[in-house]
Structure 1
């Protein structure tokens, strides 16, 4: 064996160290290139031992650096994310990105994935579990990083290690022996805001009093009328084309939504969100008026082929966040409590319940994936119906 040219040097602090420059590790069978590196140590023996370790690892990996190209947990996580993006909708992709940035990467990102142990993962899961179990103390929202869904965060870590396993970067998945604690998570008590029938009547009376022939006024007359009549999500409304409105049958077809504020995704939130909704005569009348008003507007602009039902004034997809200021002004002038666009979806659900529609029909109208979700969200929005039922009971049980 050739004598190694290990040289002594001093650090800035004056400490003696040793270095072997350009140490030969082996020849990469994939590229044909010689793999060389600088090796440092506190002693000459330490340098020699590190050289042997690197050579053994190189042989163990099939005489190639290909398997070691992804070394840190973050590098493997980003590789997993690139694959994930090919298989998911934009909303799911954005949620995964948020989970990675706020939970997974801060916990393990800079660590070598091959060195992360079951004990380290177990410790992190326990930490997330304790955070999720912490009392809210009256708060309605948890701060980012408190891991309410701590089981989901562990699931993501597990999937990343499975990805590393499939790439041959690690030999075993350390997540397999981790015990996920079962903790009680306090649910935030949020006030569900919606308008009653009398409040909606007040709102639409105000809208009708606004000056006609102005883009903004006509826009909101049609938009709010449709939201209340259909229970559409605001993103679904922004993605509607006129071909989705069947004036003769009085229906609205929902098959897409907006994501990232102004991109139209050609599939809605879930499979159940694909639906056809019947709407009332008044809503159809208002939409027809808006259709003709809009056509005249875009003909003046030289763009008569605008297909969106609720576009920007110059055409193109509307970012509904830009409508919130105007919505708040309308509500204030109508002397009503502030309500978000989603509040009109809840108002629709309340109207349906008090009109004695079944939960199954309401589920289909709202596009919920499960019937139980509809019942859990909206069973408390039927005060009028409960009063009627109490009257019926009182009359029947009059003994």
Structure 2
């Protein structure tokens, strides 16, 4: 039996996490190691490592099935089931939800001791804390899938997650958490565009969200090929999302800082939310603004020459709907010129990518200086509200904004402006007075 090795690594903020590693069976003639971090001291890591190694030698498992905690089992499930069948971005979402909710609330229990009553109480408590029905559905799904895996692999004889119920008629102790749907009056939008004028790198993202109702990720995924200047439409073919690469080394993080691969991950193209591929009509004014922006970018490319920043996609982009983004998997954006060159719309003068995260700073400025209730998504709400005020059909608004169903359009936007309510009162007075 080889010796348990103690290791350490730095977390965000400079804190040290200790871990252990020991050699397990070779695979294909190559040495393999089992590694686990998350311990506060070398002593704690060594003790846990010795127990894990003993279990592996005796039972072929790092932790015995009778003793494993739900917290450790989640890690095992994510690594040995989810990581095999699911996309990395989905696994990352599962990990975040598990670390945020499942482990703190259920991780202390032994897997075999968890009952349906414990899980149902947990779901009800989350409901009482104001978690939305959609969030609770995701939580319930994680519980069901993890315990199905436990049953299939003989950790438990039956699943306590069967037929769990999400409260519906019960009144929660805390109102359901939901983002406020803020309407931004025209006079404030004028001030916003005065603060971030046309020569600002933040102007186009704000303008596209305000005049087209696009989502944040959709705005920053736009390429010039998505714009049809003849017919004056924009085709929404994709969005950008962030992939957190936990294995990225420190030197790579430093090297890539400030690029499309900055920090501990990278941006990539993905299908739009709800797979809402669509065509959005644009005004003559916006078409002219985009034309001018494209001309400036072409001149800047000539001016900067070899110093102009270019970006590439791992897989080719499609602009006519023949091959949706979902068929390309994680379509990474990088400066690796072995990929497919892309012409992003939201870039700075020297070609560097303006990522969605820049809007966090823009939002702080607008909140402080102009409109305290501002957030980027409110531009989308404002656009929908203005369409309603102008008399646009709800079905048209649903299609334009890419809502999954008409109910979302009605529920979210129908009450957002006083102008719309005033119009309704005027109609009633006209009918009955």
1:240-251 → structure 2 map (5 Å cutoff): 240-251=222-233
Quickly say closer, same or farther: Cα 1:394–1:181, change in 2 above 3 A: closer
Label 1:94 to 1:378 Cα distance change in 2 as closer, same or farther (>3 A): farther
| Corresponding residue of 1:356 | 391
Choose 249-258 or 293-302, whichever is displaced more: 293-302
Q: Tell me which residue corresponds to 2:274.
A: 270
Q: 1:341 to 1:189 in 2, by over 3 A?
A: closer
Kept after mapping to 2: 8 A contact 1:132/1:149 = no
Seen in structure 2, the aligned counterparts of structure 1 residues 128 and 338 have a Cα distance that, compared at 3 Å, is closer
Question: Paired residue for 1:37?
Answer: none
CA contact 1:229–1:348 (8 Å) conserved in 2: yes
Whole-Å separation in 2 of the counterparts to 1:376 and 1:385: 14
Structure-2 separation of matches of 1:97 and 1:340: 27
| Deviation of the 1:157 alpha carbon | 1.9
Confirm or deny that 1:284 pairs with 2:266: no
Displacement, 1:372? 0.7
1:129–1:219 Cα change, 3 Å: same
What is the count of residue pairs matched by the alignment? Answer: 318
Matched, 1:158 2:158: no
Please report the TM-score for the alignment, with normalisation by the length of structure 2. 0.62
- 2:220 touches 2:345 (CA, 8 Å); kept in 1? yes
Contact 1:125–1:150 (8 Å) recurs in 2: no
Structure 1 position 353, deviation (Å): 0.6
- The 1:86–1:291 alpha-carbon spacing in structure 2 relative to 1, beyond 3 Å, is farther
Distance in 2 of aligned mates of 1:123 and 1:395: 58
> In the TM superposition, what whole-angstrom CA distance separates every residue of 1:353-386 from its partner, at most 9, and x where no partner exists?
1111111111111111111111111111243233
8 Å CA contact retained: 1:207, 1:221: no
Instruction: Specify the SS of the correspondent of 2:268.
Output: strand
Distance 1:154 1:197 in 2: 42
Contact kept, 8 Å, 2:217 with 2:241, in 1: the verdict is yes
CA RMSD of aligned residues (A): 3.7
Give the whole-Å Cα distance in 1 for the aligned partners of 2:422 and 2:412. 20
Corresponding residue number in structure 2 for 1:390: 425
Which structure 2 residue ranges, 5 or more long, are not aligned?
1-24, 26-54, 244-265, 312-342
| Cα distance change, pair 326–149 in 1 and its aligned pair in 2 (3 A) | closer
Indicate if the aligned counterparts of 1:234 and 1:342 stay in contact, CA closer than 8 A. Answer: yes
From 346, 363, 377, give the equivalent of 2:412: 377
Distance 1:163 1:78 in 2: 12
Question: Kindly tell me: are residues 93 and 276 of structure 1, through their superposed partners in 2, closer, same or farther at Cα, counting changes over 3 Å?
Answer: farther
Deviations 1:80-132 (A, max 9, x none): 3244355556664443222211222234436543x2242xx413431441453
Paired residues of 1:67 and 1:168 also in contact (CA < 8 A): no
> Is the alpha carbon distance of 1:299 and 1:149 closer, same or farther for their aligned partners in structure 2, counting shifts above 3 Å?
same
Larger Rg: 1
Aligned partner of 1:171 in structure 2 is 157
Partner in structure 1 of residue 185 of structure 2: 196
Deviations 1:231-262 (A, max 9, x none): 00111111111111111111111122121285
Matched, 1:116 2:113: yes
Query: Contact 1:332 / 1:338 at 8 angstroms: preserved in 2?
Result: no
Q: Distance in 2 between matches of 1:179 and 1:392?
A: 43
Return the alpha-carbon distance in structure 2 between the equivalents of residues 311 and 70 of structure 1: 53
For 1:101, the equivalent position in structure 2 comes to 99
> Contact 2:133–2:166 at 8 Å: present in 1 too?
no
Question: 2:163, 2:367 → 1: CA distance?
Answer: 55
CA shift at 1:281, angstroms? Answer: 0.8
- CA drift of 1:178 comes to 6.2
